Amino acid sequence: AKGVLAFPLVYLLGTSGLLIGAALNYFLGKYGWYHVLARLGFEKGIEEAKAKLVKHGAKAILVGYFFPGSASFLSTAAGVLRMPFQKFIIASIVAQAFWSLLWGSLAYFFGLPLVEFVLKNFIFLIIAIGAAFLIRKFMKR
């Protein structure tokens, strides 16, 4: 109502929501919903996440939660692999707490100035991104 966000509350609620989602995905993987997700086209992502979990264990969760989309695949894969839930949830808590604090802090402190910068320099940014893409494409040749 005041237009001011209480960062600690937003951090706590956001992190809690992501952890609940990770736990749900874990149980979806553990109790067979994996097959439904595979039929919906998510099999490749889950298989890649399984390979990372087998190779790296809980470290894959710590690094993989960098992006919430990969976190959902990793948590589903952890359930499919029947990773012990206590090990999974502890790794998830640590990972979510870290990444939420990092991304939340960046958004909280730099969000509005960054949005204003992008809006003021939109055309220049599009040209710069296009030029970088073309340079990269020519460098590969």
Max intra-chain CA distance, the chain = 55
Q: Which residues contact 21 (CB under 8 A, 6 or more apart)?
A: 68, 71, 72, 75
Dig out the tokens for 32 from the structure: 């067979």
Chain segment 52-77, per-residue pLDDT in tens: 888 888 888 888 888 777 888 888 88
Q: Of 11-15, 33-37, 123-127, give the lowest mean pLDDT range.
A: 33-37
C-alpha span between 137 and 116 (Å, rounded): 30
Which pTM was predicted? 0.66
In 3D space, the residue among 65, 88, 86, 79 whose CA is nearest the CA of residue 37 turns out to be 79
C-alpha span between 75 and 68 (Å, rounded): 10
Cβ–Cβ < 8 Å for 46, 71? no
Written as one letter, the residue type at 139 is: M
Chain segment 86-119, per-residue pLDDT in tens: 999 999 999 999 988 888 887 777 777 777 777 7
Termini Cα distance of the chain: 55
Tell me the average pLDDT across 115-141: 81
Give the best-scoring range by mean pLDDT among 41-50, 85-94, 122-131.
Answer: 85-94
pLDDT at 51 over 60: yes
Q: 27 or 124: which carries more pLDDT confidence?
A: 27
pLDDT value of position 129: 84
In 3D space, the residue among 58, 62, 109 whose CA is nearest the CA of residue 87 turns out to be 58
- What percent of the chain is predicted at pLDDT more than 70? 94
